Amino acid sequence: MTKKLARGVAVVGVGMSKFGAFPDKTSRDLFVEAYKELKTSVQKGFDPNDIEAFYMGNFSSDQFERQSHLAPIVASWIGLSPVASVRIEDACASGGVALRQAVLGIASGQYDVVLVGGLEKMTDLPGAQVTDALASAADTMFEIPAGFTFPGFYAAMATAYMNEHNGDLDALLKVGIKNHVNGALNEKAQFNQTIPDVMAGKVAKAIQKGLPVPEWKDEMDFLRDPKANPMIAWPLRLFDCSPVSDGGAAVLLVAEDLVAKYTDQPIFVIGEGQASDGSLPERASLSHVPSAVAAGEQAYAMAGKTPADIDFAEVHDCFTIAEIMASEDLGFFKPGEGWKAAMDGKTARDGEKPINTSGGLKAKGHPVGASGVAQVVEVWKQLHGTAGARQLPGTPRIGLTHNVGGTGQTSVVHIFERRF
Query: Is residue 66 near a second copy by the rule CB under 8 A?
Result: yes
Query: Is residue 91 near a second copy by the rule CB under 8 A?
Result: yes
Query: Is residue 3 near a second copy by the rule CB under 8 A?
Result: yes
Query: Is residue 105 near a second copy by the rule CB under 8 A?
Result: yes
Tell me the Cα Rg of the chain: 20
98, 116 contact by CB (below 8 A): yes
Which of 362, 374, 278, 302 is CA-nearest to residue 326?
A: 362
85, 68 contact by CB (below 8 A): no
| Interior angle at CA 336, CA 330 and CA 338, nearest 5 | 55
Annotated catalytic residue within 165, 180, 288, 366: 366
Query: Is residue 285 near a second copy by the rule CB under 8 A?
Result: no
The question of whether 318 is a catalytic residue gets the answer no
* 3-class DSSP assignment, residue 94: helix
Annotated catalytic residue within 92, 288, 402, 414: 92
Return the residue of 89, 314, 317, 417 that touches a second copy, per CB under 8 A: 89
Nearer to a second copy, 137 or 199 (CB): 137
Report the largest interatomic distance among the alpha carbons of the chain, rounded to a whole angstrom. Answer: 67
Query: Is residue 254 near a second copy by the rule CB under 8 A?
Result: no
Return the residue of 71, 269, 270, 330 that touches a second copy, per CB under 8 A: 71
Q: Which of residues 294-313 bind a second copy (CB under 8 A)?
A: 294
The question of whether 241 is a catalytic residue gets the answer no
Beta-bridge partners for 249 = 16, 118
376, 416 contact by CB (below 8 A): yes
Query: Is residue 129 near a second copy by the rule CB under 8 A?
Result: no
Query: Is residue 206 near a second copy by the rule CB under 8 A?
Result: no
| 204 CB-contact burial (10 Å; exposed 0-12 / middle 13-18 / buried 19+) | exposed
Nearer to a second copy, 84 or 238 (CB): 84
Which of 350, 300, 368, 296 is CA-nearest to residue 327?
A: 296
Return the residue of 21, 130, 133, 220 that touches a second copy, per CB under 8 A: 133
The region of 38-46, 77-85, 197-205, 330-338 touching a second copy under the rule CB under 8 A is: 77-85
Query: Is residue 47 near a second copy by the rule CB under 8 A?
Result: no
**Minimal distance, residue 84 CB to a second copy, in Å:** 4
**Minimal distance, residue 282 CB to a second copy, in Å:** 7
Please state the separation of Cα 320 from the chain's center in Å: 13
Query: Is residue 279 near a second copy by the rule CB under 8 A?
Result: yes
Nearest-angstrom CA–CA distance, 368 and 139: 18
Return the residue of 29, 36, 101, 309 that touches a second copy, per CB under 8 A: 101
278, 308 contact by CB (below 8 A): no
Task: Identify the H or E element spanning 384.
Answer: helix 368-384
Which of 267, 8, 263, 265 is CA-nearest to residue 112?
A: 8
Considering CB under 8 A, how many residues would be counted as binding a second copy?
A: 68
Query: Is residue 417 near a second copy by the rule CB under 8 A?
Result: no
- Phi and psi (nearest 5°) for 185? -100, 10
**Catalytic center residues:** 92, 366
Positions in the binding site for a second copy (CB under 8 A): 3-7, 26, 28, 54, 59-60, 62-63, 65-69, 71-73, 75-76, 80-91, 97, 100-101, 103-111, 133, 136-141, 274-279, 282, 290-291, 294, 405-406, 409-410, 412
